[in-house]
Amino acid sequence: MESSELAPRTAEWLAEVLQRTLAGGGRCSFALSGGKTVGPIYRILAGMKLPWERVDFYFADERCVPPDNPESNYFLAEETLFRPGGISLQQVRRMEGEREDRDAAARDYEALLPPVLDVVLLGMGEDGHTASLFPGLASVEEKERKVLAVVGPKPPPWRLTLTLPVLNAARHVLFAVAGEGKRDAARRVFSGEDLPSGRIQNAVWIMDRAAAGQ
């Protein structure tokens, strides 16, 4: 698909899954990501008439910066989804990346997570990372912890991230991937190379033509 189609198609997929999850009358947990690709998706979602009051928002990862820092994934979601969509911040479980004790922040976030996330939106970096799970780091092999404080190769280095056990347990996972810079990583994932993004099982991928290549 063309790049201009990615955000509408992704928003439609997410809206359909959210509505299906909420059809039973309960609540839905939705974990968000950051990055350039997701902002337009959030803006479209914010304009949709969905029962947002029954959605609880979480984060797949967060940079260790204050929530009003433009580098913050929370800041992006607040600017493009929460505020435009009229979503109460009482429904938002924010990763407190600005805390000095990052491990305590990670453990406290573990306690906030539901047993299983309903919907997770992920992106992929040019190195094949997803959330803040970077290739070659011990955090990719974590089997017990649900949230870790990690140091990544990209600034700002310190991050909080959900781990693979949490992401693989989620009921619905969607990758939204755009841009020619992601093409090589996508090729490597789909050829079976062991990259963090390729470790997410049963995920749906929506990619634009530039990322998908042939």
For 58, the enclosing helix (H) or strand (E) is strand 55-59
CATH number of the domain bearing residue 178: 3.40.50.1360
The arrangement of strands across the sheet holding 172-177 comes to 55-59, 28-32, 119-122, 172-177, 204-207
Domain count of the chain?
A: 1
Q: Tell me what pLDDT residue 4 has.
A: 87
Pairing of strands 119-122, 147-151: unpaired
CB 146 within 8 A of CB 113: yes
Q: Tell me what pLDDT residue 121 has.
A: 98
Residues of the domain holding 11: 3-212
Burial class (CB in 10 A: 0-12, 13-18, 19+), 214: exposed
CB 56 within 8 A of CB 28: yes
pLDDT in tens, 118-162: 999 999 999 999 999 999 999 999 999 999 999 988 888 999 999
Confidence of residue 3 (pLDDT cuts 50, 70, 90): confident
For 15, the enclosing helix (H) or strand (E) is helix 3-22
pLDDT for residue 60 is more than 90 = yes
pLDDT for residue 61 is more than 90 = yes
Q: Tell me what pLDDT residue 190 has.
A: 94
pLDDT for residue 24 is more than 90 = no
Q: Tell me what pLDDT residue 127 has.
A: 96
What is the rounded average pLDDT for all residues in the chain? 96
pLDDT for residue 40 is more than 90 = yes
For 61, the enclosing helix (H) or strand (E) is strand 61-63
Average pLDDT over every residue of 8-27: 96
Integer Cα distance of 118 and 54 in angstroms: 12
Read off the pTM: 0.96
Integer Cα distance of 7 and 149 in angstroms: 30
Q: Tell me what pLDDT residue 192 has.
A: 95
CB 185 within 8 A of CB 122: no
Q: Tell me what pLDDT residue 2 has.
A: 83
